Structure 1
């Protein structure tokens, strides 16, 4: 019998709960998932359990405007690598097509991107037909994608049409943010004009995108036991680190094997868990320092360090330089190289 697919609860317990000021333990208990070892290992749940958590957060949230508040905060707050699919792209259409490939890394939702009557249309749905996506989660998808598009374009882009299966009050809750009143529709969707769909993004970064795409593909492949275990560990770490989890136990659980089996397979490949963890952190740190403007504390957060000082100590051990010095030296080198001008 096939094992039912599971999805990371990071966006719920580590992002949404914090933004909405909801205790994640209370949320899990109320959703009937209190037995999950929150805080010790990565939490993965079925699509239905994920949606149960979302519905519970909706009830527990102290804010009436929780959907637009959460959507804007997610887009402007924590560094979430999946959203680089959009921000690194040359324009909206290409970025959204890229995002659709990796949308399931954020939870049990999928995104379809297609042309309809000349408009660029996005539809959001559950990955599991047996577990319908809550309407308010569909509304959140609309807010998040519009907010990310505006950030990438540095323009107040507004859709020409939108809809989800919510009451008039729920639809008005996000109308001010979208710039239009969503219609009531079974599908959660948003559509953009042909002109906006080809709008150039000021955040385009093809060199960085090549690295990000490779990491995201490793995340998707982490569950494929035909891949080298070191690659699977790296993919799992890219998924786990933003949630603050870097332990061998966390990775073993994500890969569906025991910790001892994980360590044995890594030894057979001539490496160790600590070596893969260090190499993954080092490579991602250098990438962010050389190809983005992320602050040192933001990079430390993505790599699951307690603070920027802890990250700086590790980076100095890897390279002999502090992160700031490494970035400044690279900037000076590029400014002096005629080929970079």
Structure 2
């Protein structure tokens, strides 16, 4: 394990802090990581720094029930593209297998999915055996997984067993949400019956999944120098846009190169940063308008526009139609619900 590997702190600084009402800069300063954000547009940290942030949020949170509150809010609130891996799937087992491939895009966690006898078992662990995952963070993983499964199935799916290395108080805190009392165990896990594992998801969306999978693979490959730089820029943008970051400086930092080098390499590929940004936004906008029922303001937020009007102006420039008119004119069947 390379302990210099870094992970986006978007889920901590932009999502969890906002939900808990904690100032992200105060959180970083309290964790001794204030320097990470100074002069930077994208905040990244090692596994140890990531978990330090979580432990600090635990201290700063004004809510004693911060774990279940966060778990429910994350699952039902912001549109997080990685979770499309689950919601677009035909059933729980397929969705969890897909999510496991891309879980590291959300932070330094490993996710394993396997059959344990006649139960489908889902386990979470730190990517680095030398940096243990905090028990309360493991509890959050269990809650988010179960809540997302319920949303995709439109059914109150309850695990048959669960466990993590938390105190009795911590385990009681999430038991009511899970529908089962977690045992105290070294492994952070949740297990489901074979009937639930094969339960069909009402949010199944194979057409959207084909596009989302390609984008997520681009995100994983962003740091691969052998890829065309325009493709690496697209992958970085897919990662950065939900955090509201679309500047060339943001992307250059994510790719580990200077802004001038980024622009020069794009010129060598006979394109420009603005052209890649516009193409990425256009393709994603068309996808969400034709393959989901996300509202224009939700799509604008995913694509890091200030508001729905700014998004609408750009979309009209690309297509000659407003987002609503484009959706109404589309000939594809609009049968998918809002997926997340």
Q: Which bin holds the TM-score, normalised by the shorter protein?
A: over 0.9
Counterpart mapping for 1:31-50 below 5 A: 31-37=31-37, 40-50=40-50
Displaced runs of 4+ in structure 1, greater than 3 A? none
- Structure 2 residue 227 is matched with structure 1 residue 231: no
User: CA–CA distance in 1 between the matches of 2:330 and 2:278?
Assistant: 22
Q: What whole-Å deviation, never above 9, does each CA across 1:101-139 have from its counterpart, x for those lacking one?
A: 000000000100000011000000000111111100000
Q: What whole-Å deviation, never above 9, does each CA across 1:220-275 have from its counterpart, x for those lacking one?
A: 00010110000000000000000000011110110111111111110000100000
Do the aligned partners of 1:71 and 1:140 also contact (CA within 8 Å) in 2?
yes
Do the aligned partners of 2:3 and 2:46 also contact (CA within 8 Å) in 1?
no
Instruction: Give, in angstroms, the shift of residue 81 of structure 1.
Output: 0.3
Do the aligned partners of 1:25 and 1:38 also contact (CA within 8 Å) in 2?
no
Matched with 2:201 is 201
* Unmatched tracts of structure 2, length 5 or more: 335-340
Instruction: Give, in angstroms, the shift of residue 39 of structure 1.
Output: 8.4
Structure 2 length normalisation: TM-score?
A: 0.96
Matched with 2:127 is 127
- Partner-residue secondary structure (3-state), 1:86: helix
Structure 1 length normalisation: TM-score?
A: 0.96
Q: What whole-Å deviation, never above 9, does each CA across 1:189-211 have from its counterpart, x for those lacking one?
A: 00000110000000000011000
User: CA–CA distance in 1 between the matches of 2:56 and 2:155?
Assistant: 34
User: CA–CA distance in 1 between the matches of 2:289 and 2:110?
Assistant: 31
Matched with 2:148 is 148
**Distance change (3 Å), C-alpha of 1:27 and 1:334:** closer
CA-atom RMSD in angstroms: 1.2
User: CA–CA distance in 2 between the matches of 1:33 and 1:297?
Assistant: 33
**Distance change (3 Å), C-alpha of 1:38 and 1:179:** farther
User: CA–CA distance in 2 between the matches of 1:290 and 1:34?
Assistant: 42
User: CA–CA distance in 1 between the matches of 2:221 and 2:26?
Assistant: 33
Matched with 2:138 is 138
Instruction: Give, in angstroms, the shift of residue 37 of structure 1.
Output: 2.6
User: CA–CA distance in 1 between the matches of 2:194 and 2:247?
Assistant: 46
Do the aligned partners of 2:3 and 2:47 also contact (CA within 8 Å) in 1?
no
Matched with 2:68 is 68
Q: What whole-Å deviation, never above 9, does each CA across 1:18-57 have from its counterpart, x for those lacking one?
A: 0000000100000001112368511111000000000000
Q: What whole-Å deviation, never above 9, does each CA across 1:299-321 have from its counterpart, x for those lacking one?
A: 00000011111111110111111
- Structure 2 residue 221 is matched with structure 1 residue 221: yes
Matched with 2:329 is 329
Instruction: Give, in angstroms, the shift of residue 334 of structure 1.
Output: 5.5
Instruction: Give, in angstroms, the shift of residue 3 of structure 1.
Output: 7.4
User: CA–CA distance in 1 between the matches of 2:245 and 2:139?
Assistant: 29
Q: What whole-Å deviation, never above 9, does each CA across 1:317-336 have from its counterpart, x for those lacking one?
A: 111111011101115x759x
Do the aligned partners of 1:124 and 1:138 also contact (CA within 8 Å) in 2?
yes
Matched with 1:339 is none
Matched with 1:338 is none
